[in-house]
Copies of this chain bind each other. A is one copy, B any other.
Amino acid sequence: MVKITDVARHAGVSPSTVSYVLSGKRPISEETRRRVEESIRRLGYRPHAGARALAGRRSNVLALAVPLRPGIDVPVAMRFAVSVVTTARRHGHDVLLLTQEEGEEGLRQVVDTVSVDGLIVMDVQLDDPRPALLRGLDRPSVMIGFPADPKGLTCIDLDFKAAGEACVEHLARLGHRAVALVGSPPEVYVRGTAFAQRVVRGFTAAADRGRLASIVHPCEASPAAARTLAEQLLREQPALTGVVVHNEAVLEPLIDAFEKLGLRVPADLSVTAICPDELAASLRTPVTSVTLPADEVGARAVELLMKKLNGTATPEATLLPPRMTERGSTAPRAVA
């Protein structure tokens, strides 16, 4: 194994100089720096992570809590995770994976063990016990999603309320007067997942403001549930011409179901979604959607955490404004 003393010898400097070249914490002359960097490359030197963690106070490891709870869309969750991992790596950090089972215990343990510089917590819920835990920790953290009380924390997420509003307003502008929200699976609401509720709130508020008739239903993540729900919606609201889907798993089956029921999209029924762009664009009928920018959220979460690690002040709440892309699944309401 190549160690720092090897590099130092090879470059004709002291180990501390090599360390300073690496960390940039003290000025190093241009020439020395170059020599050291050359030696590092030639010898293929990689600092020993454990030694670093011991001597410095940093381990260069982040923990990522990914609770794969029932009802969440796993592929979407993993987009966040992948984005976190790659961004972290760009910042020289590795990512330790925590899953639901480890829950609070896992959090505490990993933190106590000092193997982790900071943590990123996904799928935060309104009554989540983790925010309290995080507040008590001596290590910085960032939450993806919002708990009931984000005071003293750092949270980031898409502005789901605005996203819900944007969808309704888009439909309203097109002349639609009766709209429905197809939400996440019921478990998600039962658990009090903030983002789901925010969509509902935004949806309802905008509908009320625009004096649109509106209904809201959660929906299981299965094609069968989608079909059932499609029928139910039309029964409850025969004048329905606009649908907002906030449920990746049923987006396609739901459109299918409506078409099977004789409604053409967008001629008879306009559909918008809140979901990753890739999904919306990949469907047979590309769907007008507010993007769920998982990549951006993941990356920004890491960047916020890096800032906190550097002692830079960070905002408590970061809400990304919704960005809507029209793709042809929405059209002006046909005038009867």
Which A residues are within 8 Å of any B CB, using their own CB?
1, 44, 46-54, 59, 61, 64, 68, 74-75, 78, 81-82, 85-86, 89, 94-102, 106, 109-110, 112-115, 222-224, 252-253, 256, 284
Contacts and interface: CB of A to CB of B under 8 A. Distances in A.
Given A54-B54, A82-B101, A113 B47 contact: yes
B82 A48 contact: no
Given A50-B59, A51-B54, A53-B53, 17 more contacts: A46-B112, A48-B114, A49-B53, A49-B59, A49-B115, A50-B51, A51-B53, A82-B101, A85-B97, A85-B101, A85-B102, A86-B99, A89-B101, A89-B106, A94-B115, A223-B223, A223-B253
Contact of A113 (B48, B64, B99): B48
A256 B44 CA distance: 57
A157 to B, nearest CB: 21
A102 B86 contact: yes
B46 A252 contact: no
9 contacts: A48-B54, A49-B53, A50-B50, A50-B52, A50-B54, A50-B115, A96-B97, A224-B284, A253-B253
Contact of A252 (B50, B96, B223): B223
A95 B94 contact: no
A292 to B, nearest CB: 15
Contact of A85 (B44, B49, B98): B98
6 closest Cβ contacts across the A-B interface? A50-B53, A49-B115, A74-B75, A46-B112, A50-B54, A97-B97
Contacts of A256: 223-224
A119 to B, nearest CB: 13
A95 to B, nearest CB: 5
B64 A68 contact: no
